[in-house]
Amino acid sequence: MREQILTFLEKNSKIDLQELAILLGSSETVIANEVAQMEKEQVICGYHTLIDWEKTSSEKVTALIEVRVTPQRGQGFDSIAERIYNYPEVQSVYLISGAYDLLVILEGRTLRDVSSFVSDKLSTLDTVLSTATHFILKKYKDYGTIFGKKTKDERMLVTP
Amino acid sequence: MRNPLSKKIETIQPSGIRKFFDIVSEMEDVISLGVGEPDFDTPWHIRDEGIYTLEKGRTFYTSNSGLKELRVAIAEYLRRRFEVSYDPLHEILVTVGGSEGIDVALRAMLDPGDEVLIPEPCYVSYVPCVILADGVPVTIELKEENQFRLTKEELLAAITDKTKILVMPFPNNPTGGVMRREDLEEIAQVCIEKDIYVLSDEIYSELTYGADHVSIASLPGMKERTLLINGFSKSYAMTGWRLGYICGPQVIVEQMTKIHQFAIMCAPTNSQYAAVEALRHGDEDVAQMRTAYDQRRRYLMHAFKEMGLSCFEPFGAFYVFPCIKEFGMSSDEFATRLLEEEHVAVVPGSAFGACGEGFVRISYAYSLENLKLAMERLSRFVGHLREWQKK
């Protein structure tokens, strides 16, 4: 049941719980309790909205920054990750296998914002060995949703 | 000038659905619940395989029976899903959709005067195909109180000395009815005793809710008297690829292959390669689509309950078949007025046989948003009808 609820909420956090109960063949109370429990357990960590910012007038720059760091004794990568993720302009931080260690996703208003973050804050951390910054030029698909996809029904209206 | 047409073709009526389609396509702002095909796109990996095949220039005929690779994959799939095993070399014919399977089977098996039992309501092709094959269609009226299942008694009552084939259209279009194992066992027993062949159209076999589909061919003593039709249209959302298959005893498959060879040559090569990919890596897609259909099915059943519309709960395909007898009008009139007054298209039950009268077919191969909008309109329409009735 949990997995089914989560599958739905992941796609549509606005779904009405009564409706969800009908779709899953359950009762609203059961669903509501389960959701509340998952919020409490932090299985559900938030309800976000997927926005195609390109369609708005707001200017944003998103960068992916590959960061190589020296892990610290007894703490591995966790403490350095924490130092980075505490900056509010940092959207995401992932520990990555392969050629670098941390992937930092950063959102700024301008290129200058991003570059000053990298040069002033990120690179100057003692444990950071090197960074490589990639700017996102266009988002085609995010969180499983294709931006601007046409959804016209091309089927004939009545078929046997 | 001489009459250019055969007497036979002139006796065949065009599908009742066609007439309705013509009205609907003239209107704007219609929410259609009238289609008999999935709303999903073919899963991308299957389409990608089709594209790749074209890029590689695999654009030639295949053998008449279909790519061996595909027939092997079909055999493996049928064994895995429905516990029935066919020899890919001699017992499987790849066809242009399940529809071709219906046609070649009847043409290969019928002599003039042979009777074919067709439980109705059902898909619109069986009766005309029987007539075109010089057989005599004998319809059996299925009943809502039996959940539109075929019962042993109904079958026995319809059998004569001339009965050769029983068509088994389950999971059913338009009712959504399914046959459980115990129901099939009774039918199988009669078919064996009376020496009747079964043409089992299992195109909706992947779309059952609650219990898995049981193929009548998997019951003891039935494989040798069953032709099993299946295909890719409904399960993998591949209607436009036109690909299906028919499996059965070698003696029949050989003769069907002859007809197929002369009439069709082979099924589309591109689709055949894509179908191999579907069978090998498509289970997860099928499961996801099935889950989505099931949720919509529950939503519609709930909506009917709210508006007090009587409907037996179907467990297969993607149709519900609510009863509209309380409004004292024909299903044709109901569907026409629903279309005119609320711009919602459903298909009159009478299009699927006389005993479909008093019902309408509603397809849930639509997004939930669409269904919600349609149910609001249907509920308003039903409310109006009841008010008028009171006056």
Domain-wise residue ranges, chain B: 7-42+284-382, 60-281
- Coil, strand or helix at B269: helix
Specify the pLDDT at position A157. Answer: 87
- Looking at CA atoms only, how far is residue A16 from chain B in angstroms? 13
Distance of alpha carbon B183 from alpha carbon B336, whole angstroms? 36
DSSP state of B316: B
Mean pLDDT of B164-193: 98
Tell the CATH superfamily of the B7-42+284-382 domain.
Answer: Aspartate Aminotransferase, domain 1 (3.90.1150.10)
ipTM (interface predicted TM): 0.85
Q: Residues of B with CB below 8 A from A159's CB?
A: 17, 21, 34-37
- Looking at CA atoms only, how far is residue B202 from chain A in angstroms? 16
Structure tokens at B247: 């499996």
Q: Do A158 and B21 touch (CB under 8 A)?
A: yes
CATH of domain B60-281: 3.40.640.10
Structure tokens at B318: 């993607």
Q: CA neighbours within 13 Å on the CB side: how many for B65?
A: 20
Q: Which of B123, B298, B347 sits opposite A158 (nearest CB)?
A: B347
Specify the pLDDT at position B24. Answer: 87
Q: Which of A22, A24, A156 sits opposite B35 (nearest CB)?
A: A156
Structure tokens at B388: 């008028």
What is the per-residue pLDDT across B30-58, written as a single tens digit (0 to 9) for each?
999 999 999 999 999 999 999 999 999 99
Specify the pLDDT at position B27. Answer: 87
- CA B37 from chain centre, in angstroms, equals 10
Q: Do B36 and A159 touch (CB under 8 A)?
A: yes
Is the CB of A157 inside 8 Å of chain B's CB atoms?
yes
Q: What confidence tier does B23 reach under pLDDT thresholds 50, 70, 90?
A: confident
Q: What confidence tier does B341 reach under pLDDT thresholds 50, 70, 90?
A: very high
Q: What confidence tier does A153 reach under pLDDT thresholds 50, 70, 90?
A: confident
Position A73 pLDDT exceeds 90: no
Distance of alpha carbon B179 from alpha carbon B199, whole angstroms? 14
Specify the pLDDT at position B111. Answer: 98
Q: Residues of A with CB below 8 A from B25's CB?
A: 156-157
Among the residue ranges A40-49, A112-121, B10-19, B285-294, the one predicted with the least confidence is: B10-19
- Percent of chain B whose pLDDT exceeds 90: 95
The predicted model scores a pTM of 0.93
Q: Which residue of B has its CA nearest to A19?
A: B299
Q: What confidence tier does A148 reach under pLDDT thresholds 50, 70, 90?
A: confident
Position A151 pLDDT exceeds 80: no
Q: Do B295 and A24 touch (CB under 8 A)?
A: yes
In B3-32, the residues whose Cβ lies within 8 Å of chain A are 15, 17, 20-21, 24-25, 30, 32
Size of interface A-B (CB pairs under 8 A): 51
Q: Do A158 and B24 touch (CB under 8 A)?
A: yes
- Coil, strand or helix at A61: strand
Mean pLDDT of A93-102: 96
Distance of alpha carbon A126 from alpha carbon B75, whole angstroms? 63
In B154-193, the residues whose Cβ lies within 8 Å of chain A are 173
Q: Where are the domains of chain A?
A: 2-40, 53-138
- Looking at CA atoms only, how far is residue B195 from chain A in angstroms? 31
Position A75 pLDDT exceeds 90: no
What is the per-residue pLDDT across B70-111, written as a single tens digit (0 to 9) for each?
999 999 999 999 999 999 999 999 999 999 999 999 999 999
Residues in chain A: 160
Specify the pLDDT at position B16. Answer: 77
Specify the pLDDT at position B26. Answer: 86
Q: Please say whether the beta carbons of A147 and A140 come within 8 A.
A: yes
Mean pLDDT of chain A: 93
Position A57 pLDDT exceeds 80: yes
Position B315 pLDDT exceeds 80: yes
Structure tokens at B115: 């009777």
According to CATH, the topology of domain A53-138 is: Alpha-Beta Plaits (3.30.70)
Q: What confidence tier does A76 reach under pLDDT thresholds 50, 70, 90?
A: confident
Is the CB of A25 inside 8 Å of chain B's CB atoms?
yes
Is the CB of A152 inside 8 Å of chain B's CB atoms?
no
Beta strands in B130-225 (DSSP E): 136-141, 163-168, 197-201
- Looking at CA atoms only, how far is residue B17 from chain A in angstroms? 6
Annotate B338-370 with b (16+ C-beta within 10 A) or e (fewer): bbeebbbbbbbbbbbbebbbbbbbbbbbbebeb
Specify the pLDDT at position A91. Answer: 95
Beta strands in A70-150 (DSSP E): 90-95, 102-108, 128-135, 141-142, 145-146
Specify the pLDDT at position B390. Answer: 85
What is the per-residue pLDDT across B103-132, written as a single tens digit (0 to 9) for each?
999 999 999 999 999 999 999 999 999 999
Distance of alpha carbon B92 from alpha carbon B66, whole angstroms? 9
- Looking at CA atoms only, how far is residue B365 from chain A in angstroms? 11
Best to test chain A binding among B21, B126, B204, B319 (most A CBs inside 10 Å): B21
State the DSSP string of B32-81: E-B--S-SSPPPHHHHHHHHHHHHTT--S---TT--HHHHHHHHHHHHHH
Q: Do B30 and A157 touch (CB under 8 A)?
A: yes
Is the CB of B218 inside 8 Å of chain A's CB atoms?
no
Q: Which of A22, A155, A160 sits opposite B299 (nearest CB)?
A: A22
Is the CB of A158 inside 8 Å of chain B's CB atoms?
yes
Specify the pLDDT at position B77. Answer: 98
Q: What confidence tier does A59 reach under pLDDT thresholds 50, 70, 90?
A: confident
Best to test chain A binding among B19, B20, B30, B35 (most A CBs inside 10 Å): B35
